[in-house]
Structure 1
Amino acid sequence: MASRQAIRERIFVFGRHDEETLRQIEDVARHAVRAALMADGHVGYVMPIGGVAAFEHAVSVAGVGFDIACGNAAILTDLYLDDLKDHLEEIADEIQATISFGLGRTNRAPDAPVDHPLFESEAWDAIPAPRSEREELREKARMQLGTVGGGNHYVDVFADEEDRIWVGVHFGSRGLGYTIARGFLALAAGKKWGDSVPEHLALLDLGSELGQRYWALMTLAGEYAYVGREWVARKVVSILGGQELDLVHNHHNFAWREVHDGRELIVVRKGATPAWPGQRSFVGGSMGDLSVILRGTESENPEVVELQRSALYSTVHGAGRIMSRTEAKGKIRKGKVVQPGRVRREEMLEALKSRGVILRGGDVDEAPQVYRPLEEVLAAQGPTIEILHRLRPLVVVMAGPEDFDPYKD
């Protein structure tokens, strides 16, 4: 077995991290060809958020995670801040009334893309469960397409440095991805589809039937997430009365076949964004912080090229938590406060008001205070990326404190 020093030599770390986060990426690297940890990294299930790992012809179910294909989409509109500034409260209300947030919600809008061709894909047959369960999952996915969910998932309206209006969204494959991940974690542990098992790396050989089934369904969940995010973002653009000029879209919980150093590998990014030279991405900050449109740096500088190679051509997916949900919200058991929360809702709302942000929904576990400043983690990625646009939030809409969602990442 490789020594700890040998394992650490396979890992490139951006930024500073606690020991538990570093231990998680080291454990993953024991099974990987190479690994990297982005500057927004923090503890996750088995593999840390912000972790990237390259495997030889295998994919990690826990590495891709429960919210398969979670990602971000941003649309640049033809509108300017002057067009909206007197109507932002009404816009926030209409977004909240039109888009569904929270647990298992069905899409409120009559034009949701529930007849999209993805529902006729042969990949549905890869679900290793009785036909009745496959059909039940397909119908659940159909009804949830275009719903946002809870946790740190959002719909935002931004203004950039020229006061141009952007719409940004963050969410993934909802109950579809969650069910696929849970099912394959069980099968990888020798249990039945639907059984509950502890989280584990669950490396699946892509030459095996199980690996091929998972890859087909992961890919399906990715298409599902793309369709959902683009529909929601475009729906909000229509609410604003604008037209779409540009779209930036990316997954950050997914696996890709990629060539690194002349070798084809399976690269798993868990809370990390692909950032190949010239590739654009939308990366969100906290509800009160800037978000950015960035791209992988195009450079012939050997030092920059080597840093990008070390990052496995990846970057951050957000600002990175510095406080757990429980720390922020506290813990209540049988009606009694067992652990007081570190953030009060009044403090959160005051912080947002001072920054001119209009919030609908949201809870203290997503307050600006529980995240790093996005500029800080971007700086820690060094010259591997360059920022094209900084987007300041005007309207943030999320699931509220009363909306429970098991599919959040």
Structure 2
Amino acid sequence: MVMQDQSPKPEIVIMGEASEGALAQARNCRIEAEAMLLMADNHQGYGMPVGGVAVYTDRIAPAGVGFDIGCGNKAVRTDLTLADIKGRLALLADEMYAQLAFGVGQANKTRVEDALFDDPLWQTSPFLRASGDLKATARAQLGSIGAGNHYVNVFADEGERIWVGVHFGSRSLGHAIASHFMKQAGDKPNAMDAAPKTLPVKSALGRDYIACMQLAGRYAYAGRDWACDRVVEILGGEIVEEVHNHHNFAWHEEHDGQNYWVVRKGATPAFPGQRGFVGASMGGVSVILQGVDSAQSRGLYYSTVHGAGRVMSRSAAAGRRRRVKRQATRKDGRVVNVTEWVQSGGQVDFPSVQKELARQGIILRGSGADEAPEVYKDLDKVLEAHAGTVEVLHRLRPLIVCMAA
């Protein structure tokens, strides 16, 4: 199902439905973009909606790509079957959680070497050259997972074959690059509803941003490669097939004989025959899909969803933590000022979620109420809106889910 938003400029293409918040952000992006599209997993983001695709001729929007440059999904099929690991799932989950680094600002527990750290761009880029210890931080974090909705999962497909899937991006490196160039472009910090500012791609700033963005993309790919390799090693198998895509990135592409910069934020490229791994919630079935050629897929600039899409904010799901100051009387009778953290109630009963996942046989390590299955749309319904533009090749049911606590 395709909806169209009637506006003074050519319409915004909306796959499925869109919230008013996401649509308002899309209208802001449309001010400078040649075309603006919303995939069916769309929801509000910072500046540009998640699930958004903005198409530019000679400009690029750092806020469109977002803070987690190169965030994406990788899935690998192993030579293992469920019978090979079924009796060891809990032990394997413990080993994965012990060996991989989850959480905000965490460094990898294993030092990962990669040729990208020898790239001359670290010295020739005005931003990177002046970025202090960013390279050292990036080196330490390569292969770490981060927090939020980032994960490392083990799946079984319809043939009981074992897959490993990961979702994360460029960590502190990407955030630093995005923050700098968004500021240079004129974006306000964490502006939810302001139109993303753009940079001319041929300007010095535009060229530097593109080069840094592409380096962050290589960094994200290298991290996901390492994580998949490490998990497959823990499982005791070998990789026989790989599917790998960014979904927070800008690509220089040709469409209908013209070249464009296509910014996909929470959207996956899906050219004909190009495969993608799209994750659902921690309790839902994920998919391996591929793009197909059709008039509709061409109209989407060969783009599709990156996940199921949120329907509940993190604060609504988990509640909010706030500082509360009060006075307390010590044992010696003195009255002192103390500060405590108070958690307000959220809408998700996470202990019940944990019990239900355990009942389904899903081994969960980490996570919290803000990532519970009910905060996401149903992936199958989301994909229905993209019928005729992609086809599902494999359905992956979760066996092990590891996320930051």
Task: Flag whether TM exceeds 0.5 (same fold).
Answer: yes
Residue number in structure 2 paired with 1:354? 359
Residue number in structure 1 paired with 2:135? 138
State the 1:346 CA deviation: 1.1
Q: 1:350 to 1:79 in 2, by over 3 A?
A: same
Whether the 8 Å CA contact 1:7–1:26 is kept in 2: the answer is no
Distance 1:70 1:356 in 2: 29
Residue number in structure 2 paired with 1:391? 396
State the 1:102 CA deviation: 0.6
TM-score using structure 2 length: 0.91
Residue number in structure 1 paired with 2:328? none
Distance 2:128 2:234 in 1: 41
State the 1:347 CA deviation: 1.9
Whether the 8 Å CA contact 1:77–1:245 is kept in 2: the answer is yes
Structure 1 counterpart of 2:381, which letter? E
Whether the 8 Å CA contact 1:100–1:149 is kept in 2: the answer is yes
Whether the 8 Å CA contact 1:281–1:293 is kept in 2: the answer is yes
Q: 1:346 to 1:231 in 2, by over 3 A?
A: same
Q: Following superposition, which runs of at least 4 residues in structure 1 exceed 6 angstroms of deviation?
A: none
State the 1:248 CA deviation: 0.3
Residue number in structure 1 paired with 2:337? none
Note the alpha carbon deviations across 1:229-272, whole angstroms, 9 max, x for none: 01001100000000110010000000000111211000000000
Whether the 8 Å CA contact 1:38–1:315 is kept in 2: the answer is yes
Structure 2 counterpart of 1:221, which letter? A
Residue number in structure 1 paired with 2:11? 10
Whether the 8 Å CA contact 1:7–1:29 is kept in 2: the answer is no
Structure 1 counterpart of 2:46, which letter? Y
Is residue 285 of structure 2 the alignment partner of residue 307 of structure 1? no
From 160, 165, 173, the equivalent of 2:162 is 165
Structure 2 counterpart of 1:384, which letter? T
Distance 1:129 1:73 in 2: 29
Note the alpha carbon deviations across 1:321-373, whole angstroms, 9 max, x for none: 00000000112322576752000221211231232211000011000010011
Residue range with higher mean Cα deviation, 180-189 or 224-233? 180-189
Residue number in structure 2 paired with 1:248? 243
Distance 1:259 1:228 in 2: 29
Q: 1:16 to 1:5 in 2, by over 3 A?
A: closer
From 110, 114, 121, the equivalent of 2:119 is 121
Structure 2 counterpart of 1:297, which letter? V
Is residue 378 of structure 2 the alignment partner of residue 376 of structure 1? no
Distance 1:130 1:242 in 2: 39
Distance 2:53 2:181 in 1: 20
Q: 1:205 to 1:256 in 2, by over 3 A?
A: same
SS of 2:92's equivalent?
A: helix
Whether the 8 Å CA contact 2:39–2:305 is kept in 1: the answer is yes
Q: 1:350 to 1:210 in 2, by over 3 A?
A: same
Q: 1:190 to 1:25 in 2, by over 3 A?
A: closer
Distance 1:365 1:60 in 2: 29
Note the alpha carbon deviations across 1:150-208, whole angstroms, 9 max, x for none: 000000000000000000000000000000000111112299xxxx6757512010110
Is residue 225 of structure 2 the alignment partner of residue 236 of structure 1? no
State the 1:8 CA deviation: 6.1
Whether the 8 Å CA contact 2:247–2:267 is kept in 1: the answer is yes
Structure 2 counterpart of 1:204, which letter? L
Residue number in structure 1 paired with 2:175? 178
Whether the 8 Å CA contact 2:121–2:128 is kept in 1: the answer is no
SS of 2:87's equivalent?
A: coil
Q: 1:225 to 1:130 in 2, by over 3 A?
A: closer
Q: Work out which of the two has the higher radius of gyration on C-alpha atoms and give 1 or 2.
A: 2
Distance 2:244 2:40 in 1: 21
Whether the 8 Å CA contact 1:100–1:108 is kept in 2: the answer is yes
Structure 1 counterpart of 2:303, which letter? S
State the 1:7 CA deviation: 4.5
Q: 1:348 to 1:82 in 2, by over 3 A?
A: same
TM-score using structure 1 length: 0.90
Note the alpha carbon deviations across 1:300-326, whole angstroms, 9 max, x for none: xxxxx2210221110000000000000
Whether the 8 Å CA contact 1:156–1:394 is kept in 2: the answer is yes
Distance 1:9 1:72 in 2: 32
From 318, 324, 328, the equivalent of 2:307 is 318
Q: CA RMSD in A?
A: 1.8
Is residue 83 of structure 2 the alignment partner of residue 82 of structure 1? yes
